[in-house]
Structure 1
């Protein structure tokens, strides 16, 4: 009889143990799922100016919402999307919509965006002339070498009356239809453009790299992109993360009235809110 009772007790204890483990495992899974859906530290990749600066301001607002923002700085246009797709980042903030779409298509990345934050008007700069009318026959103009920004730069040159190009977003220098001054268009990596200003007659430079180099688009540019440009800078995320709470919190803060005021006051028109 004692043996039977002992066996019964052992069985009950084992059963309770299994149930307890099952409950603990289920609880852990729920907690893990909850943590993944609403993690409290958001890791965002960004280029230095103005993206990192805007995120640093956003971090103060996110802290009030219970989130910590960790910013990972990048100095190129290729690595941030790879890092995002591989799960090293929760989001990135450095690019406009056409660039994201082109990169995602070329590299087969499952990425999307949540909100448009600001526009950085692209502009033409020069150390050698004060007016684009002074460009001589065969003058050299440097533009970004990536397809989306390169095409965008050519449109800026067209708006300035220097060339004519065919319609479309993804155009290159082979798509120039008219070039009366026989301008030499040289494609260069975007971050290097401010550094070659001494060597070329002019360059079309993204605003973030221009600001880093001490150039003021509203004062130093010889021609500037229309502020209605479709090239708004965005918060890029993995498609599967778009509706997660921490991404929603990040997007909400970056399109808040506080961030709009920060952009307007700090950059004084050289960078324009897109919301």
Structure 2
């Protein structure tokens, strides 16, 4: 039986990254004791529900006991709280993000979260409930994209890689629609909090959706995406992360080893059928 505490957070205002955001109903004092400072207690890991929490729950139910790891999984539905909770010690680790996102988050918020081990890639995809191919997008079509710095740039790079737009040469992980130099279809962009992009499909012509949110919305990236990110040389692998200084926590080391085990690789292949790709 799944033993996972579920958390929900308020939808963030456009562009906001606030350190004050916390999960509804969480008890930070109790969590802090076992989250990071007490290496003898359970390791509490903050994770996005899909696929991160599902992968962690597989580890908890099938591998952790034999490895001597007491693991607790807490789900968060946004991309901010897992890092702030890791920074303040409410949780001992998190599993939901990629390196460009973390670099940007640490820079903007003064946090000290670091990666431990990369586990998987969730290819970003372009989806539509109105069209069956990207070529069908009409002039002036509206495309929803995530509004956080890194994921918006990632979305625009996906569109550029598939010939829908052209970006300035050398544009990095801070690209915005203002960096578009060519737009043959005169696409319009609707910037939304990443978690809201699947819900926008009925209101826009297409949406670029992060892999975890696509799966939660019962989309199958490997089958349903009009265009999908290539896994080759992809810098957006998702990893287990901790606050700097906690990398050598014995519990973290045990979990890191289990997350890149053959058993987890098989679980990812069997459950996600190419919509999530193991990075090891």
TM-score by length of structure 2 reads 0.84
Which consecutive segments of 4 or more residues in structure 1 shift more than 2 A? 35-40
1:195 corresponds, among 191, 196, 199, to 199
Write the distance in 2 (CA, Å) between the matches of 1:95 and 1:50.
12
Write the distance in 2 (CA, Å) between the matches of 1:243 and 1:171.
35
1:68 aligns with 2:70: yes
2:218 corresponds, among 203, 214, 220, to 214
| Unaligned segments of structure 1, at least 5 residues | 1-31
Describe the shift of the 1:182–1:69 C-alpha distance in structure 2 as closer, same or farther (beyond 3 A).
Answer: same
How large is the Cα RMSD of the aligned pairs?
1.4
1 or 2, which has the higher helix percentage? 1
8 Å CA contact retained: 1:40, 1:67: no
Structure-2 residue corresponding to 1:253: 258
Structure-2 residue corresponding to 1:17: none
What's the offset of the Cα at 1:235?
0.6
8 Å CA contact retained: 1:37, 1:245: no
What's the offset of the Cα at 1:36?
5.1
Write the distance in 2 (CA, Å) between the matches of 1:182 and 1:233.
33
Q: Deviations over 1:65-89 (max 9, x none)?
A: 1121111110011111001000001
Q: Deviations over 1:200-241 (max 9, x none)?
A: 000000111111111101111110000122100011101110
Write the distance in 2 (CA, Å) between the matches of 1:239 and 1:201.
42
8 Å CA contact retained: 1:165, 1:175: yes
- Greater CA deviation, 159-168 or 84-93? 159-168
Structure-1 residue corresponding to 2:147: 145
What's the offset of the Cα at 1:135?
1.1
TM-score by length of structure 1 reads 0.85
8 Å CA contact retained: 1:156, 1:225: yes
Aligned to 2:97, the other structure's residue is in SS state coil
What's the offset of the Cα at 1:186?
1.2
Write the distance in 1 (CA, Å) between the matches of 2:133 and 2:243.
44
Structure-2 residue corresponding to 1:233: 238
1:172 corresponds, among 149, 172, 176, to 176
Aligned to 2:77, the other structure's residue is in SS state coil
8 Å CA contact retained: 2:37, 2:89: no
Q: Deviations over 1:119-155 (max 9, x none)?
A: 0000010011111111111110001000101000001
8 Å CA contact retained: 2:211, 2:221: yes
8 Å CA contact retained: 2:177, 2:189: yes
Write the distance in 2 (CA, Å) between the matches of 1:114 and 1:179.
39
What's the offset of the Cα at 1:181?
1.4
Write the distance in 2 (CA, Å) between the matches of 1:135 and 1:214.
23
What's the offset of the Cα at 1:40?
4.1
8 Å CA contact retained: 1:46, 1:80: yes
Aligned residues: 242
Q: Deviations over 1:99-130 (max 9, x none)?
A: 11110111001110100000000001001111
| Unaligned segments of structure 2, at least 5 residues | 1-32
Write the distance in 2 (CA, Å) between the matches of 1:192 and 1:258.
33
Structure-1 residue corresponding to 2:82: 80
- Greater CA deviation, 120-129 or 169-178? 169-178
Structure-2 residue corresponding to 1:26: none
Structure-2 residue corresponding to 1:20: none
Structure-2 residue corresponding to 1:51: 52
Describe the shift of the 1:39–1:133 C-alpha distance in structure 2 as closer, same or farther (beyond 3 A).
Answer: same
